[in-house]
Amino acid sequence: MTLPSFWRQPSFSVAETAELVGVSEVTLRTWLTRAPPGDFLGTKTANRIFFSGREVFYYLLVAQLSAYGVPIRTALYAAAKHATDNLPLDQWLIVRTSRDVTDFELAEDIPATAAPALVLPLRALAIGLIERAAVVYATEGS
């Protein structure tokens, strides 16, 4: 799959990003104040912040991880490893939390011992996001 131009260029406002990720705008702005890695702060243009599709994918992963119970700072740094300039491979991200330790593992197949764990299909999440983002991007361009 060829990545669309909006995957690398700032194209989505904070409100559009929050909608695509499935969180409130307030939540997204709160995450921005939690010091995510510098590659995911968006691009400021005319006092507005715009995000690329890759950055939106990053925040989608943060939302999934934090919904599972991963502490937000851990989620911010763990998501950065998987939101790259390329589409994720057909891999599963297995997240297990035991006491105060969160373990992240990439797997080609879902292991039989995955329960209890969060199992994220990285490529499927990215493709679904690209499809939803394409609609928003097309609407914005009209």
> Which parts of the chain sit beneath pLDDT 70?
114-115, 140-142
In a domain, residue 78? The reply is yes
Residue 50 · residue 43 · CB < 8 Å: yes
Q: Helix (H, G, I), strand (E, B), or coil: what is residue 108?
A: coil
Q: Which of 35, 34, 40 is nearest to 14 (CA)?
A: 40
Structure confidence at residue 123 (pLDDT)? 92
In a domain, residue 111? The reply is no
In a domain, residue 103? The reply is no
Structure confidence at residue 113 (pLDDT)? 73
In a domain, residue 56? The reply is yes
For CA atoms 101, 105, 110, 113, give the dihedral sign.
Answer: negative
Q: How far apart are CA 83 and CA 80, in angstroms?
A: 5
> How many domains does the structure of the chain reveal?
1
> How far is C-alpha 71 from the chain's CA centre?
15
The one-character DSSP state at 52 is -
> How far is C-alpha 112 from the chain's CA centre?
26
Amino acid in the structure at residue 66: S
Domain extent at residue 16: 5-83+122-141
Quickly tell me which residue has 């690398």 as its tokens: 8
In a domain, residue 105? The reply is no
Q: Looking at residue 24, which CATH number applies to its domain? A: 1.10.1660
Structure confidence at residue 66 (pLDDT)? 94
In a domain, residue 58? The reply is yes
Amino acid in the structure at residue 78: A
Structure confidence at residue 142 (pLDDT)? 44
